[in-house]
Chains A and B, each alone.
Chain A
């Protein structure tokens, strides 16, 4: 069971959260100018690292707000939790 630190509610069990995949994937700024390759990348391609990963979570059973977490995909250690819009902190 992961204990995920919600920036607003504090640490809670993973069963209170929904997962949103990779963080910091921006919707294309000018959608009408984007070609097929770039759309494919935006829609279907995500990083899949064996190591530190910045990902989105939503505190479904709590404040219902989205936020980002930096988590290690092998040890599942969580290094940081931060509000959307903030830049990704580097793990120590």
Chain B
């Protein structure tokens, strides 16, 4: 049926993927944050725009924040045109990414099911399928029997508290190996001349009047023609030194994995109503996530009641998971905006660009936002796909409300 029945061969470990750089005194562009978004932005700045005098500075280690902590789900079945634009752009890039980076990333288009458990869910799901199709995004509405053909271990009994009444299915959606994605971008960016600087926390933003001219770091000041933020949950911390407030709240989002199991699930299943999302990694772990913790926090660990709630949901949907054991749980810090859509583009400061507010759904956008953010920085104007996601929308009121379509489960 698909490639899950065959364990993919693990690639040989090369000696070196990139070389650690010492910060130089100045760069054309400094990108804050060496997660997926920062690394992809650096790569496309170099590849698409010929801007190679670029540093990516990272507080911790490369791809050790949310890029190491997400549940690797990739899809583009969002409700609104603006969201479909950016996420579908990303999905198209995912489809050619291994060839482009010359690097395996275990991108597996195994499809994503979004389950409906109430009349409201059914109506919302059907509406979203229609909206997706109008935007050229592949989407189908499945009946409970069709849902079970896609995921045979799913319990579609009507005798449960929240029965499965149907679901949306995006066949082109799937998962990828998050670490390999980050390392692929890092290697490719480094090969084009980008400096990757780990252990280099930004402590302040340098400015000259209304123009940003660099960053202060724990390893000294770095001048920059342009500064681009890709700091996810810590974006507010970075801009606080400028007195620039962002409409963000940072929350812990947790995920967990089981021990390695036989392959039993060859698609991604998400349920917003009972609130769990599950896929099975190539190696065999069940990878699960749910909602954010209920309060603002920067502690990279999760609240126990959220784990309990998502396990209850998972076992109702997949009774055979009752015998599985949790191997590890962890948390990452996600920056959530008021309309659950990202904030991308220019700021009140010349030379300062933001990419934040991706909340719980940033991984899937990695190639798309890298492409669009690089274009925005290179041309000092928002890329057309980024334009609706401006910081200014919170003043104008032109919000892109993805709470309904995306909820918290990204």
Residues of A within 8 A of B (CB): 1-2, 14-15, 18-19, 21, 36-37, 40, 43-50, 53, 55, 71, 73-76
Report whether A45 and B298 are in contact in the complex, using a CB–CB cutoff of 8 Å: no
Report whether A2 and B338 are in contact in the complex, using a CB–CB cutoff of 8 Å: no
Instruction: Digitize B312-348: 1 where CB-to-A-CB distance is under 8 Å, 0 elsewhere.
Output: 0000000000000000000000010010000000000
Q: Chain B residue with minimal CB distance to A40?
A: B395
B402: min CB distance to chain A, Å: 15
Report whether A50 and B304 are in contact in the complex, using a CB–CB cutoff of 8 Å: no
Residues of B within 8 A of A (CB): 234, 236-237, 240, 245-250, 294-299, 303-305, 335, 338, 394-396
Chain B residues with Cβ under 8 A from A45's Cβ? 245-247, 394
Report whether A46 and B299 are in contact in the complex, using a CB–CB cutoff of 8 Å: no
Chain B residues with Cβ under 8 A from A43's Cβ? 338, 394
Q: Chain A residue with minimal CB distance to B394?
A: A44
Report whether B338 and A55 are in contact in the complex, using a CB–CB cutoff of 8 Å: no
Q: List 29 A-B contacts (CB under 8 A).
A: A2-B303, A15-B305, A18-B294, A19-B294, A19-B295, A36-B395, A40-B395, A43-B338, A43-B394, A45-B246, A47-B245, A48-B248, A48-B249, A48-B296, A49-B236, A49-B240, A50-B237, A50-B250, A50-B298, A53-B296, A55-B295, A71-B295, A73-B250, A73-B297, A73-B298, A73-B299, A74-B298, A74-B299, A75-B299
Knowing that A44-B338, A49-B236, A73-B297 are A-B contacts, what are 10 other residue pairs whose CB atoms are under 8 Å apart, sorted by A's residue number? A14-B294, A19-B295, A36-B396, A48-B246, A49-B240, A50-B237, A71-B295, A73-B296, A73-B299, A75-B299
Q: How far is the CA of A71 from the CA of B298 in the complex (A)?
A: 12
B340: min CB distance to chain A, Å: 12
Report whether A48 and B338 are in contact in the complex, using a CB–CB cutoff of 8 Å: no
A55: min CB distance to chain B, Å: 7
Q: How far is the CA of A43 from the CA of B298 in the complex (A)?
A: 23
| Contact A55 to B305, CB < 8 A, known contacts A45-B245, A46-B249, A50-B237 | no
Q: How far is the CA of A14 from the CA of B236 in the complex (A)?
A: 26
Chain B residues with Cβ under 8 A from A2's Cβ? 295, 303
Report whether B299 and A21 are in contact in the complex, using a CB–CB cutoff of 8 Å: no
Q: How far is the CA of A43 from the CA of B337 in the complex (A)?
A: 12
9 interchain residue pairs of minimum CB distance: A48-B236, A44-B247, A40-B395, A44-B394, A44-B338, A50-B298, A74-B298, A19-B295, A15-B305
Report whether B296 and A1 are in contact in the complex, using a CB–CB cutoff of 8 Å: no
Report whether B299 and A1 are in contact in the complex, using a CB–CB cutoff of 8 Å: no
Chain B residues with Cβ under 8 A from A18's Cβ? 294
Report whether A21 and B249 are in contact in the complex, using a CB–CB cutoff of 8 Å: yes
Report whether A21 and B298 are in contact in the complex, using a CB–CB cutoff of 8 Å: no
Chain B residues with Cβ under 8 A from A53's Cβ? 296
Q: How far is the CA of A53 from the CA of B249 in the complex (A)?
A: 12
Chain A residues with Cβ under 8 A from B394's Cβ? 40, 43-45
Chain B residues with Cβ under 8 A from A19's Cβ? 294-295
Report whether B298 and A14 are in contact in the complex, using a CB–CB cutoff of 8 Å: no
Report whether B249 and A1 are in contact in the complex, using a CB–CB cutoff of 8 Å: no
Chain A residues with Cβ under 8 A from B236's Cβ? 48-50
Chain B residues with Cβ under 8 A from A1's Cβ? 303-305
A68: min CB distance to chain B, Å: 13
Q: How far is the CA of A55 from the CA of B338 in the complex (A)?
A: 17
